[in-house]
Structure 1
Amino acid sequence: MANTQGRASGGQGGFFSLGRVGLAVALALLVAACGQNKVADKPPEPGDTAVARVNGQVIWASDVKREAVAQGLISEGEPLDISSEVFRQRLDEVIDQKLLAAEAMKRKIDKDPMAQRRLAAARERILGDMLVEGVVEKAVTEDAIRKLYAEQQKLSKRSEEIRARQIIVGSQAEAESVKKLLATGASFDALAMERSTDQATRFNGGDLGYFTLDVMPEPYGVALKDAQKGALVGPFAAEGGWVLVRVEDKRVEEPITLEAARPQIVRFLTYDQVRDILEKLRGSAKVEMLIGKPQDAPMTSAQEPASAPADIPGGPPASAPPPAQPAKK
């Protein structure tokens, strides 16, 4: 989900951006508006632990963990040891937030019209994020992840993988000379180390590992298209010189595992839910645009939602299908 807090600039306590200070004031005001000048001693979450008290107000371990999530230090639901240095640093920052917010209210900064607008915007962002989090939590389940993975596996086409070794030399004549040596029983690995000019593969006997032809330069794809296991192919011209390739093995490409695909599937399902709820809300709302569309960046149907989560790494945009499996090494 999109962060609802500004980021600390580093260190213990340290300096804070105006966004962080503003949000700290916003949270303080939300508590005050509910008539809760002091947080009750009852844990807000089962098993929560009180870790500090600031002017009578309890700070819970869950408050500190939420700050760590907001800063991207841990993911949602990931544990954070209260005895760790990371926890202590975030605790110091939460304490500073509360002190700054209390002082801001003491100085009546919250009464300033600009402050009230910023607090209202922060409140809307928090509530919107909480709505999206709730919707996504219900929709992005283990069953949904496994179902989409299974559907993608049915649709995916698995290519043939080749494992090969290569020797690259500077001229066709030299390549033909190496080929004759191989025909007399010379070791491919030894000749690769002695004669190949390719620094990336010569010291491992020219081993290219497993690959699919679509990821290789065109001359390789053409030369190896119909090559069988055990065949010596070439010489053929390619970037860097003249190439001899021996096909070591051929196999059907292995499908991507569920665990490897999980982050991208989660991202896709999350975008799908965000897009769905925004389409429904916009469809039932009266939205009037008072300015024209940008001339240099026209809106398209494929553009991802403005509220789409930004902190889930990898994966496709909302309009794209689940990702295909990556090429094997």
Structure 2
Amino acid sequence: MAAARSFRPFLLAGLMAALALSFSACGKDGGGEQAPERGDQAVARVDGKTVWASDVKREAVAQGLIGEGEPLDASSELFRRVLDEVVDQKLLASEALKRKLDKDPVAQRRLAAARERILGDMLVESVVSDAVNENAIRGLYQEQLKLAKRSEEIRARQIVVGTPAEAEQVRKLLAAGASFEALAMERSTDAATRFNGGDLGYFTTDVMPEAYDAALKDAKAGQVVGPFATEGGFAIVKVEDRRLEQPITLEAARPQIVRFLTYDQIRDLLEKLRGRAKVEVLVKGDGARPVPPADAPKAAPQPKTQTPTTQTPQAKGAQP
């Protein structure tokens, strides 16, 4: 271990957790060689007590270095660094016990609080892992698909020019069989779309300027409409396709669904526990319950594709 390592601020938090676990395990064999998890690997020993790969992974997750369930290669630099910190925590905790710091009343309160946090986290993890499963995720996704209202999408190309005379020239060239894409690249003044043949991608008319909504409302696939006045000049638009708006995929919706189901389970668990317990708040206040995290959905997620509102037609990549 490097003697010149800088002291890490989070080491104290780790020490409290290590002391809490040591305190709760008094009288048990702390140096047992049986792996705590199936397939676990012994990666170090501190005064004869084994440090397991799962100990290192748990610390890496606690620090936000990896996500829950992500692998951590025992040969990686990150693993060795976190292992170094776990060893430091165990050495500090062991020395604190030798000095009987755990017997101090203040220390015992802090240890008890750390133990309660750990047990609370374990309960939440257990409840969430049982409830937030693939069936629940797919079930909520299908439920929201049935509830979601799907608008009609249009895929179109446009040519924008500065004057009515230029627009009329473009219209005549198109009527004579000229390529819409080629004319868009040659004549259009809209920098956002001219170099991809005027392609606007798929959009719903509510995100477009009012003139587009009126012009495209009844247009059929393959039809050329315009010219009509827009903020950027005069537009001629070719409708390539009309279809129902594509729903969000399960994989794209999965993170939001998991957050919603997780928050829902935690809320229900706390409501049940508070309903069974006698809780007396002895300080004055407005009585408001803590607000949920900012990223916790307030209602079931609506799997509806959103298209940013624009004041002028913007280039969008065509969807498959």
Offset at residue 51 of structure 1 (A): 0.5
Give me the whole-angstrom Cα distance separating, in 2, the residues matched to 1:56 and 1:103.
15
Deviating runs (4+, > 6 A) in structure 1?
none
Question: Residues 10-29 of structure 1 correspond to what in structure 2 (within 5 A)?
Answer: 15-18=7-10, 20-29=11-20
Whole-Å separation in 1 of the counterparts to 2:279 and 2:209: 51
| Per-residue deviation, 1:17 | 2.4
CA shift, 1:318, in A, is: 4.4
Q: CA RMSD in A?
A: 2.8
Q: Which has the larger radius of gyration?
A: 2
Instruction: Specify whether residues 89 and 236 from structure 1 end up closer, same or farther in structure 2 by C-alpha distance, changes over 3 A only.
Output: farther
* Structure 1 unmatched runs, 5+: 1-11, 311-315
Equivalent of 1:39 in 31, 35, 49: 31
Q: Tell me how far apart the structure 2 counterparts of residues 120 and 171 of structure 1 sit (CA, whole Å).
A: 78
Indicate whether 1:131 and 2:110 are aligned.
Answer: no
For structure 2, the residue ranges without an aligned partner over 5 or more in a row are: 308-318
Measure the CA separation in 2 of the matches of 1:122 and 1:242.
68
Alpha-carbon separation, structure 2, partners of 1:154 and 1:78: 33
Within a 5 Å distance, the mapping from 1:178-257 to structure 2 comes to 178-257=170-249
1:223 counterpart letter in structure 2? A
Kindly indicate whether residue 44 of structure 2 is the aligned counterpart of residue 52 of structure 1. yes
**TM-score, structure 1 normalization:** 0.80
Read off the aligned partner of 2:296 and give its amino acid letter. Answer: P
Decide whether the 8 Å contact of 1:212 with 1:327 is kept in 2. Answer: no
Q: How does 1:62-211 map to 2 (within 5 A)?
A: 62-106=54-98, 109-111=101-103, 114-211=106-203
TM-score normalised to structure 2 length: 0.83
Quote the offset at 1:111 in angstroms.
Answer: 5.0
Identity %, equivalent residues: 66
The amino acid that maps onto 1:192 is A
Asked if the contact 2:245/2:305 (under 8 Å) is kept, the reply is no
Q: Kindly provide the CA deviation profile for residues 33-65 of structure 1, in whole angstroms up to 9, marking residues without a partner as x.
A: 422473311100111100111222211011111
Does residue 322 of the first structure (1) align with residue 315 of the second (2)? Answer: no
Partner of 1:30: 21
| Deviations, residues 171-210 of structure 1 (Å, cap 9, x unaligned) | 4443333333322322211121122232222111111222
Q: Distance in 1 between matches of 2:277 and 2:231?
A: 59
- Is residue 273 from structure 1 mapped to residue 252 from structure 2 by the alignment? no
Structure 2 contact 158–236 (Cα < 8 Å) conserved = yes
2:223·2:239 contact (CA, 8 Å) conserved in 1? Answer: yes
**Alignment partner, residue 312 of structure 2:** none
Structure 2 CA distance for aligned equivalents of residues 104 and 241 of structure 1? 77
CA contact (8 A) 2:253 2:303 kept: no
State the partner residue of 2:285. Answer: 292
Matches within 5 A, 1:295-310: 303-304=291-292
Query: What is the deviation of 1:286?
Result: 2.9
Aligned length: 303
Distance 1:293 1:219 in 2: 51
